[in-house]
A and B are shown apart, each in its own frame.
Chain A
Amino acid sequence: MPRRKGVSLFLIGVLVFAIVASGCISPGEESPTSTTPSTSPTTTPSPTETTPAEKVTLKVIGPWSGAELDAFMEVIKEFEAQHPNIKVEYKTYRAEDLSTILPLQFESGDTPADVIAMWGWFIAEMGQKGHLMKLNDVINPEEYVPGILDTVTVNGDIYGAPFTAAAKPGFWYRKSFFQKHGLKPPQTWDEFVALLDQIKQIEGIKAPIVSGDSVGWPLSDVTEHFILTFGGKELQLKLINGEVKWEDPEVKDIFEQRLVPLLEAGYFSDPIEWTSAVDLWWKGDYALYFMGTWITGMVEDPNDLGLISLPGVKAMVLAPDYFMVPKYTEHPKEALELAKFLATEGQRVHVGTKSGKLATWKKVSIDDYWEPMKDVAEVVANVESAPDLDDSVGGEWQKTFWDQLKLLWVQPDRLDEVLSTLDAKFPKGG
C-alpha cells in the first residue's frame, strides 16, 4: 500500500506541475538571447527555384479583420492579379498571440506563414536571432519616410518590410457637433483648455474627451502626442533610447503642466473599451476622441470628421505595419516578392481603400489616397514624423507603460509613482 500511495502521489503531483508549468517551457534554449544556427538562406534566393508555371500558395498572417481586412484584401487581390502563379491565403492573428507562438515555432525551424505582419521591435529581435530573411535586396531605404526602417534594422540588416502606417495626429471631432454648439478648433494651448471647458458645460456631455481603452495603447497615443507637442521629436527619441529618464524634469514637466491638469479637471473620461468609445463619441456623449487615422474607416460619415492637433505640435507619430519573412518559409522567392509588393506598390493600393492608412513609400502621391484621407495626408506631410514610443521599446516595458497610464488616467495624483515605475521597468541598457 505505501508503495502504491507513493506512486499515485508522484503521478498526480507531476500532472499538477505539468498543468501549471506547461506554458513556460522554453524551446530548448536556456536563454532568450541565444540563436539557432542558420540552415536556410537569409538573402534573396535565386529566381530559378520555382518554375513560372508552378502555382504556389503563400500563407500570410496579419492582425486585420472586418473592414480593415477588406482593405488589405484589395492589396492581395492586386498582387495575385500581377502574379498569376501565386495564390495568397490570409489568416488573422493578433500580434499578442503571435508573440507567444512564433518564438517557439522559429526555434523548432518552423513557421505558421510565409509572410507575417508583426511589431517592429519583435521583428528586430527575431532577425537578430537569425530566424528571418534579410530584406536588403528588396527594400531601398531611400524610397521611404526617414526613420521608418530604424525599428526593423539591426547592424545594417533590414528584417521588416514597411507597409502603410497609421498616424496619430490628434483629437477627432464631428464637424456637425462643433457647428451645432458654436465651437471652433483652438489655435493656442489656452484656447484648447477653454474649448474643453466650453464643451464640459454642454448638456448631455459626459466628458469633453473620451479615453479609449484596450490593452492600453489608446492612452499611450495621447501621451505621446503631448510629449511630441511640448518636447518634440528629439525628446521622444531620447525616451525611446533610454537617454532621458521619465522622471527627468523636462518629461515630468509635460505631465505636471499639461496632461495631469486636464485629467484632474475631468476633461478626459475614464478609459472605455475603444470601439465602444467610437460609438459613444459619434452619438454625442463625448466631443473629442484621440485616435489614429484608421478611425476614418470606422465612422458612418468620414466627411463629417474634423481634426484638432495640440496647438504647436512639432511632430506626429507614424506607426507603420511591418512584414517579415521567416527563413523557414518553403517559398522564399515568392514570399520576398510579396514582401516587396507590400512595401511598394501594395501601399499605393492600400491608401486608395478605406484603410485610413498613410503611405511610408515616398512614391505614393496624395492623388492615390481615398478622398477623406487626402486632407489628413497633407496635414501629416507638413509635420515631422516620429516613431511610436511604446512600439519601439516593446517587450515587458510596453505593457507596463500602458498599464501605468491606465493608473494615471484615474488617479493623476500618483504621477510620481507612475514615472518612477516607468524608469524602473525600462530595459536595462536600452
Chain B
Amino acid sequence: MNRPKNLTPLLFLLPALILMVPFVIYPVFKTIYLSFFLDGKFVGLENYREVLLSPDIVNLDRFPTKSPPWGALIHNIVWIAIHLPSTVFLGLGMAILLRREEVKGSSIIKSIVFLGMVIPMIVGGLIIRFLFEEGAGVVPAVFKALGIERLAITWTAYPETALLSAILGSIWIWTGFSMLMYSAGLASIPKEYYEAALIDGANRFQLFRNVTWPLLKPITIVVVAMTLLWDLKIFDIVYVATGGGPGGASMVLALQMWDYFARALNYNYAAVVAVLLTVLTFIPALWLLRRRE
C-alpha cells in the first residue's frame, strides 16, 4: 500500500471535486465563455465594452454632481462606503456596551439586534420598504415630528433617498452579524490582560486602544471581508424595497445582472456582470485568506 504522498490529499478532495466539476467549475467557465459571445457569435471584449460603458453601470454624467442614478457599480461602492464602517463600528460598539454584566437584558437586546440577520432578506426588504413609506413608516414619521418635511416622504420613491433607504435598512440587518462576531471575540480576551493594564494605570480609552482593538483584529478582518462580500452581492433587499428605482437610482450590480438575465433575456450581458462581480468579490476574498494565513 505504498501510495505516493501527494496523492492522499487528492483522494480526500475527490468526492467534493466530483460534485464541483459539473455544478461549480463547468458553470464558472461557461459563464466566462458566454461573456465573450453575442447572438452565438464570438465578439471578444465587445460585451464588456458595451456593459461597462453603459450608464446602467457607471453614469458619469450624473455622478457626483447630480442625484442618482449614478450607475450600479458606483451604487455598490457608495453602499460599501456607508454600510461597511457603519456596521463594523455599530457592531463593535454594541458588543462592547452589551458585554458588561451590569447591563440588564443585554441578551434580549442582542437577540433583537440579531433578528435582522435571521429573517429572510426578502422580508427584510419588505420591512425596509414600509419603514420608509410615508404614512406607514417610522422614519418619515420621525422627520415629520421633527418638522423636517423634506424627509417626511416615501424614501423609496425619490431618487435622492431610495439608495440611502436601502443602505440604512441593510445596516440594521447586518449589524447583528458584526455584533455577534465581536461579542464572541470579546469573550475570548482573557480578563488578566485588562487587569494587568489597569495596574499599569491605563484608562478606558487606552484599554480599548492597546488591548481590545489589537486582540479583535482577526475578528475585524473577518467582519470587514464578509461585509464587503455581502455588499457586493446585495440583491434581495434592493429587489424588494426599491426594485432598483426610481429611474435606476438604487440599482446595484447583482440586480443589473438579474435584469439582463431575466428581463432582457440577454445571458451574455448577464455573464459579463457576473464576471465583473466575481473579480470584485475575489479581492476581499483573497485578502481575507491571506490575512488569516
Binding site for B on A (CB under 8 A): 3-5, 7-9, 11-26, 29-34, 96, 99-100, 103, 125, 206, 213, 215-216, 270-273, 276, 280, 395-396, 398-399, 402-404, 406-407, 409-411, 414, 417-418, 421
B247 touching A404 by the CB < 8 A rule?
Answer: yes
Chain B contacts for A17, CB-based, 8 A: 28, 278, 281-282
The reply to whether A31 and B243 form a contact with Cβ atoms under 8 Å apart is no
Asked if residues A18 and B37 are in contact (CB atoms below 8 Å), the reply is no
Whether the pair A395, B263 counts as a contact (CB closer than 8 A) is yes
Judged by a CB distance under 8 angstroms, whether B82 is at the interface is: no
- Cross-chain pairs A/B with CB under 8 angstroms, 16 sampled: A12-B285, A12-B289, A13-B282, A13-B285, A14-B24, A16-B278, A21-B275, A23-B274, A25-B267, A215-B243, A216-B245, A271-B157, A396-B259, A399-B263, A407-B245, A409-B157
Considering only CB atoms, which chain B residue lies closest to A414 in the complex? B247
Determine which of A14, A29, A100, A406 lies in contact with B245 in the assembled complex, contact meaning CB atoms within 8 Å.
A406
B285, A103: Cβ atoms closer than 8 Å = no
Chain A residues near B37 (CB-CB < 8 A) = 30-31
- Asked if B189 is an interface residue, CB under 8 A from chain A, the answer is no
Q: Is the interface of B mostly helix, strand, loop or mixed?
A: helix
Query: B34 near A: Cβ within 8 Å?
Result: yes
Q: A12 to chain B: which residues have CB within 8 Å? A: 285, 289
Residues of B within 8 A of A14 (CB): 20, 24-25, 28
Q: Is B271 in the interface zone, CB < 8 Å from A? A: yes
Q: Is B86 an interface residue (CB 8 A)?
A: no
Q: Assess the A406–B31 pair: CB atoms within 8 A.
A: no
Contact of A403 among B24, B31, B245 (CB under 8 A): B245
Q: Which residues of B contact A213 (CB under 8 A)?
A: 157
Could you say which of A8, A100, A270, A418 contacts B247, with CB atoms under 8 Å apart?
Answer: A418
Contact A272 B233 (CB under 8 A): no
Q: Is the CB of A403 within 8 A of B261?
A: no
Nearest CB of chain B from residue A350's CB, rounded to whole Å: 29
> Could you tell me the dominant secondary structure of chain A's interface residues?
helix
Please, which residue of chain B has its CB at the minimum distance from the CB of A125?
A: B265
B116 at the binding interface (Cβ < 8 Å) = no
Interface string of B164-192 (1 = CB under 8 A from A): 00000000000000000000000000000
Question: B135 contacts A272, CB within 8 Å?
Answer: yes
| Alpha-carbon distance A149/B293, docked complex (angstroms) | 64
For A16, list chain B residues within 8 Å (CB).
Answer: 229, 278, 281-282, 285
User: In the complex, are the beta carbons of A406 and B247 less than 8 A apart?
Assistant: yes
**Across-interface contacts of A410 in B (CB, < 8 A):** 157-159, 246
**Cα-based distance from A16 to B281 in the complex (angstroms):** 7
Q: What residue of chain A has the Cβ atom nearest to residue B17's Cβ?
A: A11
Chain B residues with CB under 8 Å of A20's CB are 233, 254, 274, 277-278, 281
Question: What residues of B have a CB within 8 angstroms of the CB of A280 in the complex?
Answer: 135
CB distance from A57 to the nearest CB of B (A): 30
